């Protein structure tokens, strides 16, 4: 961060009183980002990469302060975990109240009500009027693993079909489904068998919905016998893969294909769920009802919890003891999730997501045309799950990950946290808390504009 930016952010830090009762001590500490980078390099495995070379000290709603007292607008939301913002007062209060009772018993030893209440709530929120049941675990990858286990038990079949550009986690089974080598799959295989990949429609690669469906039918003819396939798993909006929504007709076709062959349709809503796209679950936009849904991230406003929601008879196909884990459905995280869901309801965050999506689209289009003509190739997404994609020029539409990286770096210097995504690393995704005020959104977009102008100027110099 430059000295001027630093001074400016300190000033604005004091100008922004916290809404939470604890007054944040966000003044600079003796600890510097540089000293923590050095300690981190010595102590932490390098495989755990961080996008921003700063270290968190305090965060509230859509703002974050680092250890040096610099203030940032947070458009990354801890990778789509904070639709209700950092430390939503309701979420914090619920977690603290739960901590005053018990923090862990293991649901498999002594069960507790918050787990049941959250399962009831998830069953009620998930699309479809069939009877549903839920399982709670701790991470998104664990949810996906369990969804596959459940689909296998329900069908008695081994196979799973995932899509190009899909991201389902970093455990070995989920890596098999994740469709990107570097950095996720590089050097850590082999991956489990019976996982197949079908093409995802892509304007960039000239793959239409019809092409993608033909690819899937060809897969059935060549490698993946349909009667041996337990599940087709798809993100209704690709997350890490670039914030590309699945065309609704494709989702409908997948539902029909699954029905024809007795295959379970799994919607991976880990990144897209809980209001990010303007509905509880992104798949609702298409009207398709999946058999299983994986959830995590913004379900609990910053607490580690994940789950699988599904048709009751499908969920019950695994024998007692076949699902679970020591920490699965931790009671503090359950209480936080119930509070986060209530906050989404009470604060109208689904409608806010839709409105924010419109604001971002309009501003991106205007900023792109003015500041970086013929470089912002695509603005896409659903609701506030939006990304902009950068290219070297419109004629070749060649991905420009360097420009994207430079925008992220310039934005950070000016006080905005951004995160890239996409197969080519040339898209920037918006995961700002839906609770952010209009003023903060405007501040972030103004910084984005300055950062884009600076990145384009760098390339021209």
Ligand X SMILES: Cc1ncc(COP(=O)(O)O)c(C=O)c1O
Q: Are 274 and 280 in contact (CB under 8 A)?
A: yes
Find the radius of gyration of the CA atoms of the chain.
Answer: 22
Stretch binding ligand X (CB under 6 A), from 166-174, 215-223, 345-353, 437-445: 166-174
Q: Which stretch binds ligand X (CB under 6 A): 140-148, 330-338, 372-380, 438-446?
A: 140-148
Question: Please, are residues 161 and 226 in contact by the beta-carbon 8 Å criterion?
Answer: no
Q: With b meaning 16 or more CB within 10 Å and e meaning fewer, what string describes 102-137?
A: eeeebbeeeebebbeebbebbbebbbeeeebbbbbb
Report residue 229 CA to chain centroid gap.
27
Q: Which is nearer to ligand X, 125 or 421 (CB)?
A: 421
364 interacts with ligand X by CB under 6 A: no
The residues, ordered by sequence, that sit 6+ positions from 161 with a Cβ below 8 Å of its Cβ are 195, 196, 197, 198, 216, 219, 224, 229, 231, 232, 233, 263
| Dihedral, CA of residue 355, residue 122, residue 247 and residue 158, to nearest 10 | 160
Nearer to ligand X, 157 or 168 (CB): 168
Q: Please report how close the Cβ of residue 248 comes to ligand X at its closest, in angstroms.
A: 19
Is residue 373 exposed (0-12), middle (13-18) or buried (19+ Cβ within 10 Å)?
exposed
Q: Is 169 a binder of ligand X (CB under 6 A)?
A: yes
Contact region with ligand X (CB under 6 A), list: 52-60, 134-142, 342-350, 371-379: 134-142
| Interaction of residue 236 with ligand X, rule CB under 6 A | no
Q: Enumerate residues 272-301 that contact ligand X by CB under 6 A.
A: 296
From 76, 94, 195, 270, residue interacting with ligand X (rule: CB under 6 A): 270
**CA nearest to 138, candidates 339, 341, 331, 267:** 331
Report d(CA 335, CA 435) in Å as an integer.
20
**438 CB burial (10 A radius; 0-12, 13-18, 19+):** exposed
**Which of residues 59, 91, 122, 141 is near ligand X by CB under 6 A?**
141
Q: Write down the least CB distance from residue 239 to ligand X, Å.
A: 4
Residues 6+ apart with CB under 8 A from 366: none
In whole angstroms, the minimum distance from the beta carbon of 444 to ligand X comes to 22
Could you say whether residue 168 binds ligand X (CB under 6 A)?
Answer: yes
Block residue for tokens 């709530």: 121
Query: Is residue 302 within the footprint of ligand X (CB under 6 A)?
Result: no
Contacts 24+ apart (CB under 8 A), 438-444: 440/61, 440/62, 440/63, 440/73, 441/62, 441/356, 441/359, 441/360, 443/73, 444/62, 444/73, 444/75, 444/416
Residue 66 binding ligand X, by CB under 6 A: no
Positive or negative, the Cα torsion across 193, 244, 75, 461?
positive
Q: Which residue number places its CB atom closest to ligand X? A: 140
In the complex with ligand X, the residue whose CB is nearer, 69 or 301, is 301
Does position 375 interact with ligand X (CB under 6 A)? The reply is no
Q: Are 178 and 163 in contact (CB under 8 A)?
A: no
Per CB under 6 A, the list member of 74, 235, 291, 450 interacting with ligand X is 235
Of residues 63, 78, 124, 105, the one with CA closest to residue 342: 124
Chosen residue from 60, 66, 268, 443 binding ligand X by CB under 6 A: 268
**Is 144 a binder of ligand X (CB under 6 A)?**
yes
Which range binds ligand X by CB under 6 A, 137-145, 149-157, 207-215, 398-406? 137-145
234 belongs to the binding site for ligand X (CB under 6 A): no
Among 9, 84, 123, 271, binds ligand X (CB under 6 A): 271
Q: Is 76 in the site for ligand X (CB under 6 A)?
A: no
Kindly state whether residue 382 participates in binding ligand X, applying the rule CB under 6 A. Answer: no
State the number of binding residues for ligand X (CB under 6 A): 15
Among 55, 167, 196, 448, binds ligand X (CB under 6 A): 167
Give the pair of three-digit tokens for residue 303. Answer: 């607490």
Closest separation in Å from C-beta 171 to ligand X: 7
Min CB(170)–ligand X separation in Å: 6
Determine which residue in the list 61, 139, 286, 330 makes contact with ligand X, applying CB under 6 A: 139
CA distance linking residue 232 with residue 258, whole number of Å:
8
83 binds ligand X per the rule CB under 6 A: no
Closest approach, Cβ 135 to ligand X, in A, equals 15
Residues that bind ligand X (CB under 6 A): 79, 139-141, 144, 167-169, 235, 239-240, 268, 270-271, 296
């Amino acid at each position: 961060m430059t000295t001027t930016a630093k001074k400016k952010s300190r000033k604005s830090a004091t100008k922004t009183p916290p809404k939470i009762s604890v007054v944040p001590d966000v003044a600079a500490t003796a600890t510097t980002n540089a000293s923590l980078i050095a300690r981190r390099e010595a102590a932490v495995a390098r495989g755990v990469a961080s996008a921003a070379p700063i270290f968190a000290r305090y965060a509230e709603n859509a703002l974050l302060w680092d250890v040096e007292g610099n203030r940032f607008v947070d458009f990354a939301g801890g990778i789509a975990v904070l639709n209700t913002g950092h430390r939503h007062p309701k979420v914090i209060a619920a977690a603290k109240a739960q901590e005053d009772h018990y923090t862990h018993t293991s649901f498999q030893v002594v069960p507790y009500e918050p787990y049941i209440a959250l399962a009831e709530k998830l069953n009620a929120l998930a699309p479809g009027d069939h009877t549903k049941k839920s399982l709670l675990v701790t991470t998104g990858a664990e949810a996906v693993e369990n969804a596959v286990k459940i689909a296998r038990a329900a069908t008695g079949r081994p196979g799973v079909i995932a899509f190009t550009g899909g991201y389902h986690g970093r455990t070995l089974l989920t890596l098999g489904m994740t469709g990107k080598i570097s950095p996720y799959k590089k050097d850590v295989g082999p991956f489990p068998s019976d996982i197949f990949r079908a093409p995802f429609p892509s304007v960039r690669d000239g793959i239409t919905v019809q092409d993608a469906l033909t690819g899937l039918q060809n897969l059935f003819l060549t490698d993946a016998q349909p009667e041996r396939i337990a599940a087709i798993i798809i993100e209704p909006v690709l997350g890490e893969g670039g914030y590309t929504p699945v065309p609704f007709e494709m989702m409908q076709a997948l539902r029909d294909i699954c029905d024809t062959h007795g295959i379970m349709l799994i919607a991976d809503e880990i990144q897209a769920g809980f209001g990010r796209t303007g509905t509880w679950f992104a798949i609702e936009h298409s009207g398709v009802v999946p058999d299983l849904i994986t959830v995590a991230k913004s379900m609990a406003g910053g607490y580690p919890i994940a789950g699988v929601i599904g048709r009751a008879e499908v969920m019950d196909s695994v024998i007692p003891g076949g699902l679970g884990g020591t920490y699965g459905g931790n009671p503090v995280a359950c209480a936080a999730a119930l509070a986060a869901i209530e906050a989404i309801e009470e604060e109208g965050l689904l409608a806010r997501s839709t409105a924010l999506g419109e604001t971002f689209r309009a501003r991106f289009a205007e900023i792109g045309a003015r500041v970086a003509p013929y470089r912002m190739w695509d603005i896409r997404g659903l609701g506030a799950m939006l990304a902009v994609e950068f290219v070297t020029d419109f004629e070749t539409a060649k991905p420009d990950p360097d420009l994207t990286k430079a925008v992220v770096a310039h934005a950070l210097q000016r006080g905005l946290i951004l995160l890239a995504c996409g197969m080519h690393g040339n898209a920037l995704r918006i995961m700002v808390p839906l609770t952010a005020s209009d003023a903060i959104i405007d501040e972030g977009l103004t910084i984005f504009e300055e950062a884009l102008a600076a990145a384009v100027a760098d390339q021209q110099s």
